[in-house]
Structures are given as structure tokens and as C-alpha cells.
């Protein structure tokens, strides 16, 4: 459905903030409340904002169904690959070998209450990112499927 | 007669099960070893300040993999329901 210019402009203005806030929730999953599922849902809200404000044919020129399907599959594959990497590196599926190792997401964490550093927690941010990509793709694909059948009538 | 007997047996069984269920200790946390372990080791083993995330994505990461798979399957189901019809194909009505 093509909404009025006010709705379209507001949606165009707000969907980047939705995406950025969703990414923030995903990336800070090991420090603050939230995580992959919640952040992915927030990001999908940004896509939904675009979808309800525009005509389906207009929006699928930039927000393609195949891209979102790819997002979903890539997210799940990334999760499984991270698990298998732990299996080969540490001997257990989803073994958290990156934690405290000094590299990516590998800073050691002080015991007790502390504000926390983003570059910690090893495998957890990677898995959060994977789940976030998957939820973004999955929910957007569901919305695209459901809106693809809506019959448009020109006023 | 048979209905009354059946009801009586059912009531007796129900009373027995209820007594067992109510009598089981559940109130005070008698066993907190698991909780204490998570709280004590979330920061040095999983290296995450958020204990909930460390449980969900590290100690029980396999469970999260299952959740992600459930979402994937749900999207697959919606896709099958909203698929395009072939030319000449009709919806089946019961």
C-alpha cells in the first residue's frame, strides 16, 4: 500500500535508526539485556516500517526476497560453522576458545560488577551476530511473503 | 454401576497423584549448586558480563542452535503456505 507522503517520509527517516539500534542490541548482547533474537527483531521492524509505507512492487526493488533468504541461511550456517570451529579447535561443539585468548573478542573479564568491555566474551558475540542476521532475514521474508499477496487498487 | 466404579477409581488415583505432587518439596531452593556455578563462572569461563547471555549462548548454546533451527523451519512453513500457484493450479478446498 502506498501511504501518504508524511508516512513515507517518516518511515524513510526512521528506518536507519531502527537498523542501527537493532545492531547495537545485537552487538552488546553479552553486556546488556538483549541479544541476537531481540536485536534481529528490532532490525526487522525497520524493514516492516518500509514495507507498510510503500507499495510492495516499489519496495522489492531494493529489499529483495532473495537477499533476505540468503541472510537467513547465512545466519544459520554461520552459527553451525562457529560451533564446528569450536569442535575442531577445542574438542567440544560450540567450545568458547576465543574467550580470554587475547584476539578478537578475547579480552579477559574482571570478576565482579564492572561496566564491561565490548571486546570480550569470545564466541558469544559471533553467535549473537549470526542469530541476529538469521532473525532479520527470517522475519523480513515472512513479511514479504505475506505482503506479496496483497491486491493493490489505485485510488 | 460401571461409570460410578470408574469415577471412584479415577478420583482415588487423582487424590494419590495430587498428594505426591503437593508433597514434593519445591518451595525453598534446596539445590542451588547450578545457579551458584553459573554466577561464579560466567565471567571467567564464558567471559561475558551478562550471565543470562552466557547461559543462553555458551553453557546452553546447543539449545540456542535448536531455537534458530525452529525459526528457520517456521519461515520455511510460511513460505510453503504462501507459495506461488502454478499456471492452471487451483486452491484445494475441503
In chain A, what are the domain boundaries? 5-147
Q: Does B38 fall in a domain?
A: yes
Q: How many other C-beta atoms lie within 10 A of the C-beta of residue A14?
A: 15
pLDDT at B6 over 90: yes
**Is the sign of the CA dihedral A116, A119, A123, A126 positive or negative?**
positive
Q: Which conformational region is residue A92 in: left (phi greater than 0), alpha (psi within -120 to 50 degrees), or beta?
A: beta
Q: pLDDT-based confidence at B93, cuts 50/70/90?
A: low
* Nearest-angstrom CA–CA distance, B12 and A82: 54
* Nearest-angstrom CA–CA distance, A35 and B52: 10
Q: How many other C-beta atoms lie within 10 A of the C-beta of residue A11?
A: 19
Region A119-142: mean pLDDT is 87
How high is the pLDDT of residue B27?
60
pLDDT at A8 over 70: yes
Q: Which domain holds residue B38?
A: 33-83
Query: What is the value of pTM for the model shown?
Result: 0.77
Smallest Cβ–Cβ distance between A134 and the set B50, B71, B79 belongs to B71
For residues B86 and A141, the model is more confident at A141
| Pairwise CB contact (< 8 Å): B50 & A33 | yes
Which one-letter DSSP state was computed for residue A121? S
How high is the pLDDT of residue B35?
79
* Nearest-angstrom CA–CA distance, A55 and A4: 11
A132 has a chain B CB within 8 A of its CB: no
* Nearest-angstrom CA–CA distance, B11 and A102: 64
Q: Residue A80: its chain B contacts at CB < 8 A?
A: 65
pLDDT at A155 over 60: no
pLDDT at A101 over 80: no
Q: Does B72 fall in a domain?
A: yes
How high is the pLDDT of residue B39?
81
B86 vs chain A: nearest CA distance in angstroms? 15
How high is the pLDDT of residue B30?
65
* Nearest-angstrom CA–CA distance, B46 and B61: 11
Q: Does B5 fall in a domain?
A: no
Show the DSSP H helices in chain A as ranges: 5-27, 36-53, 56-59, 65-90, 123-147
Region A8-35: mean pLDDT is 88
pLDDT at A126 over 80: yes
Report how many domains make up chain B: 1
Q: Does B90 fall in a domain?
A: no
For residues A123 and A101, the model is more confident at A123
For residues B12 and A65, the model is more confident at B12
Q: How many residues comprise chain A? A: 155
Q: pLDDT-based confidence at A152, cuts 50/70/90?
A: low
Q: Does B37 fall in a domain?
A: yes
B3 has a chain A CB within 8 A of its CB: no
Q: Does B7 fall in a domain?
A: no
Region A121-148: mean pLDDT is 88
Amino acid at each position: 500500500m502506498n501511504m501518504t507522503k508524511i508516512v513515507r517520509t517518516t518511515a524513510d527517516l526512521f528506518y536507519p535508526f531502527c537498523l542501527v539500534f537493532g545492531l547495537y542490541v545485537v552487538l552488546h548482547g553479552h553486556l546488556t539485556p538483549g541479544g541476537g533474537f531481540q536485536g534481529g527483531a528490532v532490525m526487522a521492524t525497520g524493514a516492516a516500517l518500509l514495507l507498510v509505507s510503500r507499495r510492495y512492487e516499489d519496495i522489492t526493488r531494493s529489499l529483495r526476497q532473495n537477499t533476505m533468504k540468503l541472510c537467513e541461511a547465512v545466519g544459520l550456517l554461520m552459527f553451525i560453522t562457529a560451533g564446528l570451529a569450536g569442535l575442531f579447535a577445542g574438542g567440544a561443539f560450540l567450545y568458547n576458545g576465543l574467550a580470554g585468548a587475547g584476539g578478537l573478542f578475547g579480552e579477559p573479564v574482571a570478576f565482579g560488577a564492572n561496566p564491561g568491555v565490548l571486546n570480550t566474551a569470545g564466541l558469544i558475540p559471533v553467535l549473537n551476530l549470526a542469530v541476529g542476521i538469521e532473525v532479520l532475514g527470517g522475519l523480513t521474508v515472512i513479511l514479504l511473503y505475506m505482503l506479496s499477496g496483497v491486491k493493490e487498487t489505485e485510488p | 454401576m460401571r461409570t460410578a466404579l470408574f469415577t471412584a477409581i479415577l478420583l482415588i488415583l487423582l487424590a494419590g497423584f495430587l498428594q505426591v505432587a503437593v508433597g514434593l518439596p519445591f518451595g525453598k531452593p534446596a539445590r542451588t549448586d547450578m545457579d551458584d556455578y553459573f554466577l561464579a563462572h560466567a565471567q571467567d569461563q564464558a567471559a561475558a558480563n551478562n550471565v543470562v547471555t552466557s547461559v543462553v549462548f555458551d553453557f546452553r548454546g546447543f539449545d540456542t542452535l535448536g531455537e534458530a533451527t525452529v525459526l528457520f523451519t517456521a519461515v520455511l512453513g510460511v513460505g510453503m503456505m504462501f507459495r506461488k500457484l502454478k499456471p492452471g493450479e487451483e486452491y484445494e478446498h475441503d
